[in-house]
Chain A
Amino acid sequence: MVRYIANKFFYMLVSLFILISATFFLMKAIPGDPFTSEKKVPPAIQERLYEQYGLDKPVYQQYIKYLGDVVQGDFGISMKKINQDVSDIIGQTFSASLKLGLVAIVVAVIVGVLLGMVAALYHRKLIDNIAMVVAVLGIAVPSFVIASLLQYVFASKLHWLPTMGFKGPIYYVLPVAALTAQPIAFIARLTRSSMLEVLNADYIKTAKAKGLGWMAILFRHVIRNGIMPVVTYLGPMTANIVTGSVVIEQIFGIGGIGKQFVEAISTRDYPIIMGITIFYGILLMLARFITDIAYVFVDPRIKLSGKKEG
């Protein structure tokens, strides 16, 4: 186990290094810089800005300096948001995305698993069909369509909920609904199919034959085994939702990290682009990592080892 983790950790560092390098050079290759503007600044001032932010040096020197700073945990200050630390900006905007994301994940898992379970238990009955139609819709309809629709109905027409902003619990309802439609559908389908499989498995028949009660069978055997694929999906989904859906944040006016990222790219705010990229990278890798570990606890058949087959 320890060896496995150490190994995984090493590969994470390598990936991170590649990610940083590739992003850095690609970013520098885009035309324009943070100080390109329609109304030109006098050359003397422009040069001083380049000097102050180290943009007057060759790209490889900037790269080496940046790597050095990052190793020491210094993500620098923004070039556009004057005198603001990159880590502060990430922290503040990520907190919105995180809050929204966590609520969405919890809702998605609870509703998705329940929906899938009900569908499996009532296989080929009306409830199953309804649940699966809902699931197909959830997967097929893009989230921004759902978001706009929800906004139109519940905010613009019925005036039940606010259109935009992120000032209190009530502001969560619509974005969470839009954000979870797809994961709910996905989880429901995963749960349903794996539960159906499990329900027909030999050990369930054995359990039934033993005379075990329905509840016991369901909670001890069916759910635990049936939920396996959901655990797999949980990792990428968490990363996906928590990193902030740019489109959903845009539609509901939530100043999350996704919006910040897009804005940084269009203003060529180099330190923020790098900072958020690294942050995203770490988050995604951690999500995968935790998923792997979680397997061990959920599925006793899996043993971790440092070898490739692991």
Chain B
Amino acid sequence: MKKNKSLLLLLTLVLAVGTLLSACGSNNDKNSASNGGNNTSNSGTNSGEEKLAADQTLKINLSAEPPTFDPAQAQDSQANTVLKTMYEGLARMNDNGEPEPAAAEKWDVDGTKYTFHLRKDAKWSNGDPVTAKDFAFAWERVLSPNTDPAPPYAYQLYYIKNAQEYNEGKITDFNQVGVKVVDDYTLEVELVSPTPYFLGLTSFYTYYPVHQSVKDDAKWAVDASKMIVNGPFTLTNWTKGQTIEVTKNENYWGKDNIKLSKISMSLVNSGATELASYKNGELDRTGHPNGEVPTDQIPIVKQELKDEFKVKGIASTYYYQFNLTAKPFDNEKIRKAFAMTIDRQAIVDKVTLGGQLPAFGFVPPGIKGVNDEFRNEVKDDFFTENTEEAKKLLEEGMKEEGYTQLPEITLTYNSSEAHKKIALAVADMWKKNLGVDVKTENQEWGVFIENRQNLNYQVARAGWTADYNDPMTFLDMWTSNSGNNDIGLKDAEYDKLINEAKTTEDNAKRNENFKKAEEILVKDTMGIMPIYYYTNIALEKPYLKGVSLDFSGGIDYTRAYLLEH
């Protein structure tokens, strides 16, 4: 009997181990086969240069999958990252944030008239030449009211004469829009008013050219085999939800400047997993702008991976905004009291931990002014932190409104661990310094945005990123009829200053107007309460070089390369 039992045990064990082994066996076969394939192709592309790694495959992660690779439809930073590798606009931004020739080899500027001379050796990935017609075709596609679905970023082209009218259907003839194809290699663009940052805009994805074969094919941009592009890389694989892969485009005019052979992107939406994967050597870079290093891990990696930890200021502002139409923040003095009594340095040092800069203005550093950065020309000294003064202001404000006690106050933020920590810290400071109890409430993103846009809040978290390198991108949103003005600010003087800045050719006057406008926004009304200027936090392997981050944190991998490691 006993013998029988042990026999049985043996049998079950053999069965179990057998199934496991057979599974492993087949796995190994497949692995070695695919590895072999990779190896041969790698040795083939080995450039033979001394320092460069033999395998120029860059591995990164995108925390969200781009919804499409149609430049006309794109509107997120992940799509921006990938589109930048696949397309090239008239100009491209170099490392110093200056536009440099790209698809256009030179341009003449005459007030509101720009003449672009396209390079004659630029080709699409299928070998067709890139011509001025391709740009006109792409822009017409963005602006046409018949494009389905309507390109949400069409307004990025409203700087062009009659573009808005055409987009809104007020004029129906595209020939009236300020885009003129003079010949195959000359494109004339007429603007509505002088726009100092227009050249920079031509490097933005909404301005990318599109191959004319896409005309009647709605699905061209979701299928790797159908993409025809003009940039340094072509889309070679897109497995939905898993991976995106771009491969060097041999038809790109500047291919000699491109060292990477491939960029392989995983699509994982978890900072913790991404970090573990980076540490395990599966990624060459992690963190902003394509992902995020978890806040609680920042102090650890700062120590452990000192040489790989990269911090760079970017042109974005983190702030709380007051609802100027709701009690108690319809009172200016109460708003000021709240804004003056939080310790921004402490928030940056102890809560966010990412080397952010305490903010006392709305326009962040990195944005151009006349001769220097705007923030260097106009100091952000619109207010100071001063608890004693704040207490006095609060008392006065309460007297003005006839409060003996403040109404209940709720601070709203969108659900996220990082925002929560900041909200709790701020509420705690208000409690300690002003003796005011503030409730904090987190809301799911869609709900939060809707409440904020409907002015259904008292004080809410917010952040703003630059669309282009000019103070205008931060200041025109607060005009009375701007769709993004969700604090209820209505100030005729403010509107006038911004309108003047939009039409003047005098850059010094523009700057002066921006200064006055920001004063109204922050110093006089304190409609928004700046907290800090964002930083871009990333981990980069020491052998990865040539990755370029622009002023707003947009990333350009096209000129990157990998060293022997």
Contacts and interface: CB of A to CB of B under 8 A. Distances in A.
A38 interface: yes
B67 A82 contact: yes
Given A252-B273, A255-B241, A30 B155 contact: no
A236 B446 CA distance: 33
B303 interface: no
Contact of A80 (B16, B67, B219, B281): B67
B276 A214 contact: no
B436 to A, nearest CB: 28
B241 A52 contact: no
B210 to A, nearest CB: 14
Interface string A20-45: 00000000001111011111111111
Interface string A244-257: 00000011111110
A126 to B, nearest CB: 12
Interface string B155-172: 100000000000110000
Interface string B1-35: 00011001100100110010000001100110010
Contacts of A118: 9, 12
A256 B240 CA distance: 9
Question: Which range contains the number of B residues in contact with the other chain?
Answer: 35 or more
A278 interface: no
Interface string B209-228: 00000000011011000000
Nearest to B219: A83
Contacts of A127: 9
Contact of A255 (B267, B282, B453): B267
A228 interface: no
A110 B13 CA distance: 11
Contacts of A43: 483
A93 B240 contact: yes
Contact of A92 (B68, B241, B267): B241
Interface in A228-268: 250-256, 259-260, 263, 266-268
**Residue of A31, A122, A167 contacting most chain B CB atoms (<10 Å):** A31
Given A35-B152, A251-B270, A253-B270, A40 B16 contact: no
Contacts of B447: 30-32
Contact of A164 (B73, B153, B273): B273
Interface string B103-119: 00000000000000000
Contact of B277 (A30, A39, A164): A164
A220 B149 CA distance: 63
A263 B63 CA distance: 12
Nearest to B149: A52
Given A43-B483, A45-B152, A164 B282 contact: yes
B241 A164 contact: no
Contacts of A96: 241-242
Nearest to A257: B241
A308 B16 CA distance: 41
Given A114-B12, A121-B9, A266-B445, A82 B242 contact: no
B239 interface: yes
B145 interface: yes
**Residue of A127, A250, A255, A259 contacting most chain B CB atoms (<10 Å):** A255
Contacts of A163: 273, 276-277, 280, 282
A32 B217 CA distance: 30
Interface string B270-284: 101110110111100
A236 B354 CA distance: 46
Contacts of B67: 78, 80-82, 84
Contact of A259 (B8, B269, B272, B445): B269
Interface stretch (A6-14, A133-141, A154-162, A284-292): A154-162
Contacts of B240: 84, 88-89, 92-93, 255
A203 interface: no
A37 B276 contact: no
Contacts of A254: 242
Nearest to A166: B242
Nearest to A173: B27
B242 A45 contact: no
Contact of B149 (A38, A53, A152): A53
Contacts of B152: 35, 37, 41, 45, 49
B192 interface: no
A151 interface: yes
Contact of A39 (B222, B446, B451, B484): B484
A45 B167 contact: yes
A270 B75 CA distance: 19
A273 interface: no
A127 B5 CA distance: 13
A71 B49 CA distance: 61
B269 A38 contact: no
Contacts of A122: 5, 9
Contacts of B429: none
Nearest to B153: A41
A287 to B, nearest CB: 23
Given A52-B148, A250-B273, A45 B155 contact: yes
A99 B31 CA distance: 17
A38 to B, nearest CB: 6
Contact of B154 (A45, A117, A155, A168): A45
A16 interface: no
A32 B453 CA distance: 10
Contacts of B50: none
B446 A30 contact: yes
Contacts of B68: 81-84
A253 B65 CA distance: 12
A174 B484 CA distance: 46
Contacts of B154: 42, 45
Contacts of B155: 41-42, 45
Nearest to A93: B241
Contacts of B282: 162-165
B173 interface: no
Interface in B430-463: 444-447, 449-451, 453
B312 to A, nearest CB: 23
A212 interface: no
A30 B447 CA distance: 8
Interface string A97-122: 00000000000001100100110011
A170 B64 CA distance: 24
A263 B16 CA distance: 39
A93 to B, nearest CB: 5
A32 B145 contact: no
A31 B451 contact: yes
B450 A36 contact: yes
B450 A45 contact: no
B244 to A, nearest CB: 11
B266 interface: yes
Contacts of A169: 26-27, 30-31
Given A49-B150, A83-B218, A214 B4 contact: yes
Nearest to A162: B282
Closest 5 CB pairs of A and B: A255-B241, A32-B446, A253-B268, A40-B483, A169-B27
Interface of A: 30-33, 35-45, 48-49, 52-53, 78, 80-84, 88-89, 92-93, 96, 110-111, 114, 117-118, 121-122, 127, 151-152, 155-156, 159, 162-170, 214-215, 218, 250-256, 259-260, 263, 266-268
Interface of B: 4-5, 8-9, 12, 15-16, 19, 26-27, 30-31, 34, 61, 64-65, 67-68, 70, 73, 75, 145, 148-155, 167-168, 218-219, 221-222, 239-243, 266-270, 272-274, 276-277, 279-282, 444-447, 449-451, 453, 467, 483-484
